Amino acid sequence: MNRRHLTAALSALAGLSAAATAGADALIDNVKGVTLNRDRQVVRFKAMVIDAQGKVVRLIAPDEEPPKRTKKNPGPRYDWRADMKGRVLVPGMIDAHGHVVELGLAALSLDLSDTRSLEEAKAKIAAYARANPERQWIVGRGWNQEAWKLGRFPTAADLDAVVGDRPVWLARADGHAGWANGAALKLAGVTAATASPAGGRIEKPLGVLVDRAKDLVERVVPRVSPKDRTAAFLKAQSILLGNGVTAVADMGTSIDDWMTYRRMGDIGALRVRIMSYGMGIDTAVAIGGTGPTPWLYDDRLRLEGVKLYADGALGSRGAWLKADYADAPGQRGLGFLTDDQLQNIMSRAAMDGYQIAVHAIGDRADSQVLDAIAELSQTYKGDRRWRIEHAQVVDAADMGAFGKYGIIASMQPTHQTSDRVMAEARLGPARLAGAYAWKTLLDDGAALAFGSDFPVERPDPWAGWAAAFTRIDADGQPAGGWHPEQAVTREQAWWAFTGGASFAGFAEQKFGILAPGQRADFLLLDRDPTTAAAVDLRQTKVLETWIGGAKAWERK
């Protein structure tokens, strides 16, 4: 994004906000409003009063007569009134697990997520390289050998056949593996004799590096410049607002990411609310010092906690399992930390009051984190809200620990619809009962928070909501749903994308529902998502996105 485009983007954001900002109480009128209350019951309303701070004052029920103005009772006076023309109004959606800057970088670089074969991917890579001769590196993401039905990982030779004159580095769809060509491997000093590092795996023939092995190449990839990072943020913010996402838990914020958010906040360009989790304890301490930061920029940014990793991902066979992969005997995935290491890091973070969120996908990794929480809970009391990110494969014997220790299961419904065929191959039938087990975890006392893990999946809460109560993908497969006994109700899924997601980030007093004292973050939609059939819910279009009582985005 050049300076002219950046200036135009910032001016557009400023214009949207200035057009809608109130100086006193305002009336959002003539709506088909629907929200959940704190008891998770559906509440309908026809108007909403908000104050000058962008907070909800009250909801006006459909059968409520507005006070009539008389000499004795002049009634309410509003600084401004917005007639929403009978459109559907709902609270803003919250993505409980995403990667904001990575979403923007993915959108502005080579995207292979739509490729359905290796040959199609190679053609797209070659075309991108020809169109960008000035780029010293070709960088992108989104490939998935499972979607290609390749039966193997791609290799450096596959890439060399289309780009051999400069290094190429392409992240897998899940972000837990990277694909390099010969030039990139040479710069990184990776050869057939290079040993896989702890917590990582170098695939043979050479080309794909999994989890910690990625570091060997990533350390020589040029760093993203502050200008490109700013452009990536603005792109990501536009995508999020356009999908109706008004707040997000940014899982793995780097120092550079944090400084980008601060720059945007300082110039008034930060619209989406960010609950930040620093990438590791060192990053969190560098940003927050002795604990979480205050809320900044009218509750738009806060460093809440620390993001840690216990294992890799299922698709790249990095998820740490208790038994061998069904389709790769002898492999059980990659555990990143010993039990003592994990407990020590978690203790260091808990000592200063940081919330702890640990990525754990395989049943062995989930078990390790649950054991660590059980141990640490004896020392660190109070409302800790320990988080396990993904919790994709959980041993039945471990399910009850979520409720016992007040653990939040931060899960992504569209992972299930995208992964089901691969998961069946990786796990075999015996372990599927504990895979993507939303209903069981909820029944066992876990607090559910739903997200998308963008850019691994699209930041589309409507697709996630539909998947959560149907277990069916966008193509209607499989009929009746995949392990439908693990579906949650429509209302439980909605809560997990709103009030549950804000609770997961200690933000439930700030935003998440539409109620007095809450930030007026809301959406105008083309349909009522509480009554639409699942197939129609997926087609929901956001018409306008408002944050803190100010219009932040509108569909052109």
Confidence (pLDDT) at 360: 98
In this prediction, what percent of the chain has a pLDDT beyond 70?
Answer: 94
Question: In angstroms, rounded to a whole number, what is the distance separating the alpha carbons of residues 237 and 543?
Answer: 16
Measured in residues, the chain has a length of 556
Secondary structure class of 115 (helix, strand, coil): coil
Domain membership of residue 518 (yes or no) is no
Q: Is 345 within the bounds of a domain?
A: yes
Asked if 205 and 104 sit in the same domain, the reply is yes
Q: Are residues 270 and 334 in the same domain?
A: yes
Q: How confident is the model at residue 80 (pLDDT cuts 50, 70, 90)?
A: confident
Q: How many angstroms separate the Cα of 500 from the Cα of each of 39, 363, 381, 451?
A: 12, 24, 22, 11
Query: How many domains would you assign to the chain?
Result: 3
- Helices 100-107, 226-242: inter-axial angle, 10-degree rounding: 100
94-144: pLDDT as tens digits: 999 999 999 999 999 999 999 999 999 999 999 999 999 999 999 999 999
* 255-266 helix and 226-242 helix, angle to the nearest 10 degrees: 70
User: Do 427 and 343 share a structural domain?
Assistant: yes
CA–CA gap between residue 27 and residue 440 (Å, rounded):
42
Return the pLDDT at 78.
73
How far apart are alpha carbons 414 and 471 in whole angstroms? Answer: 9
Domain of residue 64: give its range.
3-91+549-554
CB 523 within 8 A of CB 90: yes
| CATH code, domain carrying 195 | 3.10.310.70
The answer to the question of residue 531 being in a domain is no
Same domain, 281 and 414: yes
Say yes or no: 199 and 272 in one domain: no
70 within 8 A of 419, measured Cβ to Cβ? no
Please indicate, yes or no, whether residues 313 and 460 belong to a single structural domain of this protein.
yes
pTM: 0.92
On whether both 295 and 177 belong to a single domain, the answer is no
Distance, CA of 393 to CA of 410 (rounded, Å) = 13
Among 411, 546, 486, which Cα is nearest to 33's? 546
Encode pLDDT of 481-525 as tens digits. 999 999 999 999 999 999 999 999 999 999 999 999 999 999 999
CATH code: domain of residue 40? 2.30.40
SS3 394: coil
Whether residues 428 and 483 fall in one domain: yes
464 within 8 A of 453, measured Cβ to Cβ = no
Say if residue 379 is in the same domain as residue 481.
Answer: yes
In a domain, 429, yes or no: yes
284 in Cβ contact with 306 (< 8 Å): yes
What is the Cα gyration radius of the chain? 24
The answer on pLDDT for 49 being more than 60 is yes
Tokens linked to 178: 């990277």
- Tokens found for residue 203: 């695939």
Cβ atoms 366, 391 nearer than 8 A: yes
- Domain identity same for 48 and 113: no
Residue 68 has pLDDT above 60, yes or no: no
Residue 486, both tokens: 């693990």
d(Cα 235, Cα 245) in Å, to the nearest integer? 14
**CB-CB contact of 493 with 468 (8 Å):** yes
Do 339 and 295 sit in the same domain of this protein?
A: yes
CATH of the domain at 483: 3.20.20.140
